[in-house]
């Protein structure tokens, strides 16, 4: 080993194995450089080993994994943060309390539609029109309107609700709470249960009306054919017998029985061909007799009263109104 050198372990380059070929300074520089290089190499190796040990083994390249994580985070943020807050905002809009101005705008709009399409409404006094519109608003709020094979339009629920409000205008219980849903079909439909064609029907699933037939009923308000009034008459009967007892005027059921006592002999006489005052569909059964008599009661009260005065009087007392004098209540306490 040459003098004046510090021994650096592992420094044995091949060129330095021959003492005397290089001088001591050169030899020292070479050994130093080689040693430092070796030290750096070993550091780099350790770092690589360290990196290899620490780095997780991803099934996909890192860039792809990063993108996937970013997508997962974005979707989670949308699902759990953004969407709930949007929904909350939307719900807030739905339950936003109506201002007096909103109400006035709606009342004016309802008045225009009802004045145009509902002859019963047209014949009411100003005060009764206001009472009618209020009841239509309340009735609509208590129902969900589902449209089938047709475009929903704002005036349709108003006119359908008006048929119920017209029938129950003399009664306190006017919302027909037994029903939550009113189905509006574009035209006639076939029911799977019997493969028959219907323009409307009432079941525990709701009140069903075909819109085309409904409008025909009000277009000709003299022919004693009115689908809206017909179905609402069935619905009123359902509500009285199957609805929540507390919501009912107990006297209404009593009056319904009195109407039946007066109506059954007329119904039997019609079936025996002794009288054809009403549409022959009334002959189907006594429920249809009731619904058809409601149509005639509103659309041709004069003939009804002339031909069947006792039954007409029972109808007036049952519904607490007389269509010959629209809006007049027979008993103010019942309405
Ligand atoms: Zn019917």
Structure confidence by residue, pLDDT tens digits, 175-195: 999 999 999 999 999 999 899
Percentage with pLDDT > 70 across the chain: 77
CATH code for the domain of 115: 3.40.390
With a cut of 70, say whether residue 109 has pLDDT above it: yes
Crossing angle for the helix pair 286-299 and 227-242, nearest 10 degrees?
A: 130
133 and 50 in one domain? no
* Together in a domain, 48 and 113: no
Q: Which two tokens stand for residue 210?
A: 């075909």
Q: What is the mean pLDDT of residues 187-206?
A: 94
Q: Specify the pLDDT at position 304.
A: 95
Rounded to the nearest angstrom, the distance between the alpha carbon of 315 and the centre of ligand 1 is: 17
Residues 194 and 46 in one domain: no
Rounded to the nearest angstrom, the distance between the alpha carbon of 282 and the centre of ligand 1 is: 8
With CA atoms as reference, report the closest residue to 301 among 325, 332, 269: 325
Stretch (H or E) spanning 56:
none
Residue 87 has a pLDDT of: 61
Q: Is residue 138 included in any domain, yes or no?
A: yes
Distance in angstroms (rounded) separating the CA atoms of residues 23 and 207:
113
pLDDT(52) > 70: no
Domain assignment present for 250: yes
141 with 255, same domain: the answer is yes
Say whether both 231 and 300 belong to one domain: yes
Chain mean position to CA 247: 24
User: Do 148 and 260 fall into the same domain?
Assistant: yes
Neighbours of 320 (CB within 10 A): 23
Question: Same structural domain for residues 154 and 40?
Answer: no
- For residue 72, tell me if it sits in a domain: no
Separation of 237 CA from ligand 1 center, angstroms?
11
Determine the distance separating the centroid of ligand 1 and the alpha carbon of 10, expressed in angstroms. Answer: 109
Which one, of 304, 320, 300, lies nearest residue 312 by Cα? Answer: 304
In a domain, 63, yes or no: no
When pLDDT is averaged across residues 53-62 and rounded to a whole number, the result is 68
pLDDT level of residue 228 (50, 70, 90 thresholds): very high
Same domain, 28 and 167: no
Same domain, 136 and 282: yes
Least confident interval from 38-42, 64-68, 81-85, 288-292:
38-42
Which of 112, 142, 111 has its CA nearest to residue 128? 111
106 and 132 Cβ atoms separated by less than 8 Å: no
- Compute the distance from residue 214 Cα to the ligand 1 centre, in Å: 13
Distance 226 CA to ligand 1 centre (A): 11
Could you give the count of Cα atoms lying within 13 Å of 52 in the half-sphere of its Cβ?
6
pLDDT score of 24 more than 80 = no
Instruction: Indicate whether 47 and 141 sit together in one domain.
Output: no
Looking at the fold, whether 222 and 286 belong to one and the same domain comes out as yes
CA 285 to centroid of ligand 1, rounded, Å: 9
**Tokens coding 180:** 């939550």
Most trustworthy range by pLDDT among 13-22, 32-41, 157-166: 157-166
- Long-range (24+ apart) CB contacts under 8 A made by 281-288 are 286/260, 287/234, 287/237
The better pLDDT of the pair 19, 70 is held by: 70
Range of the domain at 32: 24-54
Residue 290 resides in a domain: yes
Asked if residue 211 and residue 144 are part of one domain, the reply reads yes
The pLDDT value given to residue 53: 59
Residue 70 lies in a domain: no
pLDDT over 50 (residue 283): yes
Task: State the average pLDDT over residues 139-158.
Answer: 97
**From CA 9, how far away is CA 20, in angstroms rounded?**
21
> Cβ distance 319 to 330 under 8 Å?
no
**Distance between Cα 275 and ligand 1 center (Å):** 20
- Ligand 1 midpoint to CA 136 (Å): 23
Q: Is residue 2 part of a domain?
A: no
User: Which three-class secondary structure state does DSSP give residue 201?
Assistant: strand
330 or 299, which is more confident? 299
213 Cα–ligand 1 center, Å? 13
Q: Is residue 204 part of a domain?
A: yes
Check: pTM over 0.85? Answer yes or no: no
64 has a pLDDT exceeding 60:
yes
Number of domains making up the chain: 2
Q: What is the pLDDT of residue 1?
A: 43
């Amino acid at each position: 080993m040459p003098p004046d050198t510090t021994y650096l372990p592992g420094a044995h380059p091949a060129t330095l194995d021959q003492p005397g070929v290089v001088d001591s300074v050169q030899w020292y520089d070479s050994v130093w450089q080689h040693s430092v290089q070796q030290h750096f190499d070993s550091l780099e190796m350790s770092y690589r080993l360290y990196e290899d040990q620490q780095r997780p083994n991803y099934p996909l390249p890192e860039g792809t994994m990063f993108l996937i994580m970013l997508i997962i985070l974005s979707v989670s943020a949308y699902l759990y943060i953004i969407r709930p807050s949007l929904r909350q905002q939307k719900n807030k809009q739905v339950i936003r309390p109506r201002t007096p101005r909103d109400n006035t705008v709606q009342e004016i709009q309802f008045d225009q539609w009802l004045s145009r399409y509902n002859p019963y409404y047209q014949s009411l006094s100003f005060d009764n029109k206001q009472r009618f519109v209020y009841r239509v608003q309340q009735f609509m709020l208590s129902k969900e309107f589902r449209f089938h094979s047709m475009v929903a339009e704002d005036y349709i629920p108003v006119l359908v609700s008006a048929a119920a409000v017209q029938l129950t205008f003399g009664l306190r219980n006017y919302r027909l709470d037994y029903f939550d849903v009113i189905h509006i079909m574009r035209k006639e439909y076939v029911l799977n249960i019997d493969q028959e064609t219907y323009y409307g029907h009432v079941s525990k699933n709701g009140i069903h009306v075909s819109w085309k037939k409904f409008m025909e009923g009000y277009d000709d308000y003299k022919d004693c054919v009115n689908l809206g009034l017909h179905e609402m008459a069935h619905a009123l009967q359902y509500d009285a017998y199957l609805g929540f007892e507390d919501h009912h005027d107990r006297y209404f059921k009593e009056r319904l029985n009195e109407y039946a006592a007066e109506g059954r002999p007329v119904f039997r006489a019609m079936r025996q061909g002794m009288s054809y005052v009403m549409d022959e569909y009334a002959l189907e059964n006594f429920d249809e007799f009731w619904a058809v008599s409601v149509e005639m009661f509103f659309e041709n009260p004069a003939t009804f009263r002339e031909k069947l005065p006792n039954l007409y009087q029972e109808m007036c007392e049952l519904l607490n109104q007389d269509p010959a004098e629209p809006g007049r209540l027979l008993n103010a306490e019942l309405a």
